[in-house]
Structure 1
Amino acid sequence: MSRADRVFAYGATLGFLGDLLTGDPRRGHPVAGFGRAAGALERRLWRDHRGSGAAYAALCVGGAALGAAVAERAARSRPALSVALTAAATWSVLGGTSLAREARTIGAALEAGDLAAARARLPHLCGRDPAALDADALARAVVESVAENTSDAVVGALVWGGLAGIPGLVGFRAANTLDAMVGHRSPRHLRFGWAAARLDDALGYPGARLTAALAALAAPYPRTALATARRDGPRHPSPNAGPVEAAFAGALRLRLGGTLSYGGHTEHRPVLGAEFRPPGPADIPRAVRLSRRVGALALGASVLLSAARGARRAHPGPAAPQGGAA
């Protein structure tokens, strides 16, 4: 393993442990700072046009990744600083602990029979309308959100860190944050947010597939997880949430999917794992434990990806033969 690979391995591990121990701070989080800057830029650049949205996405995500690349290059000659920078970037882009904390908070409210508290807390985890949800529907929303956000808030970032270092970590989180801000199909963002949504889909593709595979590997029912992901994942309208939620459905042997409501609009999504029982409040801790195991495995996978990238740099393929006269 080269020095650069060791730097990423040590830094990513420290950042992962930092998230595990502290989670997201209430104030001063770098992602929140990016969101404020992106919001200010949107107010200046917004036009009801895909081209304007594409330029906006390129400026936000490209600018964040470029800044990370400059910082990474500046620290390259100082290993300790490089490790610290990688650790800080990893910690700032991961959200596994905050995800687990919010899920457990809602689960505890449901176990205590406090539907009002659970409904009030759900918007901290996902965008569904909580008012009409009973305890089982709230539990389903939490389990599905834990599954999807394991990919978005943990595995996807680590994959891109392994593939592209600090710029990969930062660029992925910037794209994911931008999608949450403008990627939804509201009248204002239907065209302007199109590029941000497509970019997030593209960058999330490898992480979603790895999340589904790791969920099966970490599951008590690995074959069931794989079979459910293969059968039901492609039926989901989201190319990335589909395999992840279906894998979690099979891994936990729970029925996910079905009718849900966002922003006053009702959607009828395919059922994932139709042969299983629906989730209840007691299944939320099970989903969180699975998410945590998947995150730890993803850290290992990112280190292996970084080492493979370093090996390719150290041992490039043979040069193409030069043409010449016979």
Structure 2
Amino acid sequence: MASTSEPPLLSDGRKVWFNTGTSTGFGRCLVSSVLSRGDYVVASARSLESIQDFPKSDSLRLLQLDVNDGFDAIGLKVDEAVAFWGRIDVLVNNAGTGMKALLEEGGSNHFKEQFHTNVFSALDVTNAVLPHMRPRKSGTIVMIGSRSSWNPEVPGSGAYCASKAALRAIGETLSVELAPFNIRVLIVEPGAFRTNAIFTQPYFTSNPIPDYDDLRAKSQAAFEAVRGKQPGDPAKAMEAVLDVVRGEGRAKGRSWPTYLPLGEIAEKGIKEKCSRIVGVLDEWADVVRDVNFDS
């Protein structure tokens, strides 16, 4: 359980982090990494019980936050987070879910549910934090996305991949809109890491269409085969995020990346997609360019 004693005055250059979705996976690892670097962290989760086992620390505060509760409720929680140490230097939007369904079977309702948590809620949290960053002209917004947004050609993953692609687009736009306020955006896109993510979420089968029986079965088997065997270490991934945000370790002396793909699977998948797109642009250049009004 976190300490409730008064924190020291923040005049030592240490950062204050506000992290969502800290009960498992990347979120839990990130809290440990932040504390190990000597920074302060407000760890939030939908259930306080799920994060009561964090080690006691004067640099840690726990906050109950359901990111799906809406902007007004989130705003009150952000105010609570700010009250702990007087500011938020780094927001990490990690809370999310990974739902699986074939597109026709899941339909738009499946998409709406997925986007509510992964996209709209992340935007709500961000917009609730920004009024505390803009006046100080300082801050960092971290979006925990996924390399799946680059490689959605996996049956059953359409809604999840689309939500992460939307999150990346939001991050890209924010990076421009917030630049005048010296607020940076980091879009983290992990590959296959051993977290709950999409692999442990149930597969939507409430609207089975017989034509998809074989594809659905193969898709379910493929997800199950990967579960627990992902090569990525989430603790190492979050150490990389700390390096970038703090400008130290492997990030020392480097320019701000905006994008941070993590893992060889992410590297390979993103490179292949970019190469395919460039290939189409080259092969179809005459068609691509010949669509303007005649002079």
Tell me whether the two structures share a fold, i.e. TM-score over 0.5. Answer: no
Higher strand share: 2
* TM, length-normalised to structure 1: 0.30
Q: Which has the higher contact order (CA 8 A, sep 6+)?
A: 1
* TM, length-normalised to structure 2: 0.32
